[in-house]
Amino acid sequence: MTFSAKRWREDFPILRPSAKGRWVYLDSAATTQKPEAVLRAVDDYYRRYNANVHRGVYRIAAEATERYEEARQRVARFIGGDPRGLIFTRNTSEAINLVAYAWGLDNLKEGDAILVTAAEHHSNLVPWQLVAKRTGARLRVIPLDEEGHLDLSQLPELLEGVKMVALGHASNVLGTVNPVEEVIRAAHEKGALVLLDAAQSVPRMPVDVKALDCDFLAFSGHKMLAPMGIGVLWGKPEILEKMAPFLGGGEMIGRVEWEGSTWREIPWKFEAGTPNVGGAIGLLAAVDYLEKVGMAAIARREEELGQLMARRLRELPGVVVYGPRGQRTGIVAFNVEGVHPHDVSQILDEEGVAIRAGHHCCQPLHRLLQAGSSCRASVYLYNDEEDVDRLVAAVQKVREVFRVPG
């Protein structure tokens, strides 16, 4: 069965061709576009049953609560996790900060280590730097090989004294998928916990937290068809139960006295204040949509397009493509020799092709690649071979305008 991007594309109003022709969106690693089904679900909530959740007795308050909790169940099933461990956050960054603060401040001390990788997004690096500073713990880094794969040859030594491994699952720059099972197994043997930054994996491949046996998993709704402002932290219930709350406020309390308060059970202990109900309902619709397309099919398709894009770009003289030559996701970072990424993306925009230019929140990685910044093209289920042709033709145009030799 062939994958019909064209058919899925019709579900996305923003991607419909304009009078100027078809616009090619290749920035889904930053945020994806939204299908009708998601837009309708959010619209329906606000038009028909908008009410604050929990404690409301009237009909639509009950309906809103029911749908919000259904979203929790549904998203937990999507990642194969216990719904009691599923906490709604704003995004991946907030989910990681929750663990860094609520777990880190009470469990890290001087002499402990936190292990990250050289390819981490700032979201999975800066929170740990902040908490390391407060606790006296130290950050240690798993290096990369020339192709961008994790170099795990020193893993046992690197794990000495480590309490937390904060690990990107799929890179937002290199297109790599890290062998997280191996790292998780080794970390658990040494008594360390593992948090997976799954912002780029949950949207584009099947992810099962039970099979992976990770302790925490963080991802963003907006990178998987849902609205902005809804994200997820999943954690093992037995670990979450022992953690102190992150934010205090309404909804998360048991009983409040002047001397102190008790907390609600998980996951609500970690959801202070009015949550993003419309966002959670949008995420529910997004997950339904993704399962209709099929996560395994999405992963296969992305790999195909990623390979094609990397190969076609590498064929152009004066173009460098970062990351592995073998297996990869549909996220491809590259540079055109002598032309700044801003100039590349400006010309691509004129050709109707949207890509991202910059350091993609990975400054340490770009230093490693010896590039101040890069261009990044990333595909999703609505992209196809024709989009890759358009990208390649537009990069050719860049080479003409800037007279790149070769």
Partner 1 sequence: MSLDDLYQELILEHARYPHHRGTLADPTVTLDAQNPTCGDEIHLQLKLSGDERKIEDIAFSGHGCSISQASASMMTDLVLGLSVKEALEKVQAFQDMMRTGEPREGLGDAVALAGVSRFPVRIKCALLAWMALKEALEETGAM
Ligand X SMILES: Cc1ncc(COP(=O)(O)O)c(C=O)c1O
135 binds, among ligand X, partner 1, none (CB under 5 to 8 A by kind): none
Please give the structure tokens belonging to residue 113.
Answer: 């280590």
Binding-site size, ligand X (CB under 6 A): 13
89 binds ligand X (CB under 6 A): no
Find the part of the chain contacting ligand X (CB under 6 A) among 71-79, 118-126, 251-259, 381-389: 118-126
Residue showing tokens 């094609």 = 308
Q: How far is the CB of 126 from ligand X (least distance, A)?
A: 11
168 binds ligand X (CB under 6 A): yes
362 included as an active-site residue: no
Measured from the CB atom, the residue of 82 and 343 that comes closer to partner 1 is 343
200 binds ligand X (CB under 6 A): yes
341 binds, among ligand X, partner 1, none (CB under 5 to 8 A by kind): partner 1
Closest CA relative to residue 83, chosen from 195, 206, 209, 203: 209
Q: How far is the CB of 270 from partner 1 (least distance, A)?
A: 32
Q: Determine contact, residues 142/152, Cβ cutoff 8 Å.
A: yes
339 binds, among ligand X, partner 1, none (CB under 5 to 8 A by kind): partner 1
- One residue of 32, 97, 135, 172 binding ligand X per CB under 6 A: 172
Measured from the CB atom, the residue of 32 and 124 that comes closer to ligand X is 124
Find the part of the chain contacting ligand X (CB under 6 A) among 15-23, 117-125, 177-185, 265-273: 117-125
343 binds, among ligand X, partner 1, none (CB under 5 to 8 A by kind): partner 1
Angle at 225 between CA 219 and CA 227, to 5 degrees: 80
Measured from the CB atom, the residue of 67 and 121 that comes closer to ligand X is 121
199 binds ligand X (CB under 6 A): yes
* Cα–Cα distance, 395 to 185 (Å, whole number): 43
Q: How far is the CB of 103 from ligand X (least distance, A)?
A: 18
Measured from the CB atom, the residue of 310 and 404 that comes closer to partner 1 is 404
93 binds ligand X (CB under 6 A): yes
Interface residues with partner 1 (CB under 8 A) are 339-343, 346-347, 350, 357-359, 363, 366, 372-373, 401-402
Measured from the CB atom, the residue of 177 and 344 that comes closer to ligand X is 177
Find the part of the chain contacting ligand X (CB under 6 A) among 74-82, 87-95, 104-112, 308-316: 87-95
- One residue of 121, 269, 328, 356 binding ligand X per CB under 6 A: 121
Binding mask 203-242 for ligand X (x = CB under 6 A): -----------------x----------------------
Question: How many Cβ atoms from other residues are within 10 Å of residue 108's Cβ?
Answer: 22
Q: How far is the CB of 393 from ligand X (least distance, A)?
A: 27
Find the part of the chain contacting ligand X (CB under 6 A) among 91-99, 101-109, 250-258, 260-268: 91-99
Instruction: Label each residue of the chain as H, E or C.
Output: CCCCHHHHHCCCHHHCCECCECCEECECCCCCCCCHHHHHHHHHHHHHCCCCCCCCCCHHHHHHHHHHHHHHHHHHHHCCCCHHHEEEECCHHHHHHHHHHHHHHHHCCCCCEEEEECCCCHHHCHHHHHHHHHHCCEEEEECECCCCCECCCCHHHHCCCEEEEEEECECCCCCCECCHHHHHHHHHHCCCEEEEECCCCCCCCCCCHHHHCCCEEEEEHHHCCCCCCCEEEEECHHHHHHCCCCCCCCCCEEEEECCEEEECCCCHHHCCCCCCHHHHHHHHHHHHHHHHHCHHHHHHHHHHHHHHHHHHHHHCCCEEECCCCCCCCCEEEEEECCECHHHHHHHHHHCCEECEEECCCCHHHHHHCCCCCEEEEECCCCCCHHHHHHHHHHHHHHHHHCCCCC
Supply the residues annotated as catalytic.
Answer: 361
Interface residues toward ligand X, by CB under 6 A = 91-93, 121, 123-124, 168, 172, 197, 199-200, 220, 361
